[in-house]
Amino acid sequence: MARKILAAGNWKMNMTPTEAKTLITELVEKCKGAKNDVLVCPPLVDLPAVLEIAKGTNVKVGAQNFYYMDKGAYTGEVSADMLKDLGVEYVIIGHSERREYFSETDEIINKKVTKALEKGLIPVLCCGESLQQREDNVTFDFIRTQIKIALRGVSKEDMTKIVIAYEPIWAIGTGKVATSEQANEVCADIRNCLAAIYDQETADRTTILYGGSVNKDCAAELFAMSDIDGGLVGGASLKSEDFSIIANA
């Protein structure tokens, strides 16, 4: 089953609102007519400006995080309703940096996935192993556990609304990239896991991205693999020329 490629840019904690305006203006122009779907996920304070400039273009906008409660005394957090009211369509959930630096557990990630779906946001669900886990040959078991817990209570119908991003922690921001074969092998196993939870049709329809130092030089080879449907791009998404190349890879 043919799945369209998605080039998703995670800006992380980069770009002031002023800088974001410049970048999204350049991206909108350079990604006009891109053959792949295009998504950018700026910091929360940049969202209004980015959404305004991207409105009516082929560039979709997502958030990097949110809290799973609807409202209340949760200082510093934002809700799914707040993101929806702005016009956000996607939200990254379970990024390794959220797991590591902010102690997000698989159970918290599951709450975020189900809340995002309830509110009509498209989750970009991240999973991935550390270098130690890869060296211990537990990559597949570890990632399957992440996926199974994150998808608890998610129906077959809702699964078709989720994007999964495989991001080996050892390749994020390190300049190291898993070989195309290594990345594809894990993405294929994630698809097999989805087939076991749901069915093969659901698995075949799910977009699975690779995220781990994806750049303009390796994107085409990665995206050509059988089970890789695009990339969750970090540093290269902050350079309009590089990201436009990835958007057409």
Over the stretch 115-136, which tens digit does the pLDDT of each residue have?
999 999 999 999 999 988 998 9
**Residue 33 belongs to some domain of the structure:** no
**Residue 96 belongs to some domain of the structure:** yes
Bridge partners, 6 (sequence order)? 37, 230
**Residue 101 belongs to some domain of the structure:** yes
* pLDDT average, residue stretch 44-70: 98
> For residue 1, what pLDDT is reported?
55
* pLDDT tens readout for residues 169-225: 988 777 777 899 999 999 999 999 999 999 999 999 999 999 988 999 999 999 999
**Residue 186 belongs to some domain of the structure:** yes
Tell me: pLDDT of 148 over 80: yes
Alpha-carbon radius of gyration of the chain:
17
Choice between 177 and 72, residue whose per-residue pLDDT is larger: 72
Q: Is 113 exposed, middle or buried (0-12, 13-18, 19+ CB in 10 A)?
A: buried
* pLDDT average, residue stretch 20-30: 98
**Residue 73 belongs to some domain of the structure:** no
Task: State the CATH number of the domain containing residue 163.
Answer: 3.20.20.70
Q: Dig out the tokens for 123 from the structure.
A: 């989750």
**Residue 1 belongs to some domain of the structure:** no
The three-state secondary structure class of 161 is coil
CA-to-CA distance for 198 and 85, rounded, in angstroms? 32
The three-state secondary structure class of 247 is helix
CB 14 within 8 A of CB 233: no
Choice between 30 and 212, residue whose per-residue pLDDT is larger: 30
Percent of the chain with pLDDT over 70: 100
**Residue 187 belongs to some domain of the structure:** yes
> Structure pTM?
0.96
Tell me: pLDDT of 77 over 70: yes
* pLDDT average, residue stretch 12-28: 98
**Residue 70 belongs to some domain of the structure:** no
User: Mind telling me the catalytic residues?
Assistant: 95, 167
Range of the domain at 48: 6-23+38-64+78-247
When divided into structural domains, the chain yields a total of: 1
Tell me: pLDDT of 56 over 80: yes
The three-state secondary structure class of 180 is helix
Neighbours of 107 (CB within 10 A): 11
First vs last C-alpha separation in the chain: 19
